[in-house]
Amino acid sequence: MINLPVINLPVTASYLDVTRQHVEAEFQTFMATKANQEGWQFLDLSRQWLNNPAYFADPTHLNQTGAAQLSQQLSDRVTQTLTGRSLPVPSPTPSPKILLPPPP
């Protein structure tokens, strides 16, 4: 059996206007219900970096720093699951751990 995680990726606060907040809440409820019924995991990360625009290229797309941070976070979760170790929960707005060289 394959454990299938479905990940709702982070977005910025500017993306979640009143209409999108309502639709997002419906989506999260639907996905959580389906995940429970069908036995897969729904990981909602949509609100973890609402006020951290440094991780985004635009309101809905992660930039290189955000993608690296999210990849590390997901890797940590997998490691925790496989080893049974308890890892610290990341803060809602963690500082970037990866320093990138300046553009040419």
Instruction: Say if residue 33 is exposed, middle or buried (CB neighbours under 10 Å; 0-12, 13-18, 19+).
Output: exposed
User: What's the whole-model pTM score?
Assistant: 0.72
- Residue 89's CB is within 10 A of a number of other CB atoms, namely 6
Please state, in angstroms and rounded to a whole number, the distance separating the CA atoms of residues 46 and 60. Answer: 10
Range of weakest confidence among 22-26, 32-36, 49-53, 92-96:
92-96
Please state, in angstroms and rounded to a whole number, the distance separating the CA atoms of residues 68 and 27. Answer: 26
pLDDT digits (tens, 9 = 90+) for 33-78: 999 999 899 999 999 999 999 999 999 999 999 999 999 999 998 8
Mean residue pLDDT of the chain comes to: 84
Residue 9 confidence (pLDDT) above 90: yes
In this prediction, residue 80 carries a pLDDT of 82
Task: Give the 3-state secondary structure percentages of the chain, helix then strand then coil, rounded to 5.
Answer: 40, 10, 45
Residue 91 confidence (pLDDT) above 90: no
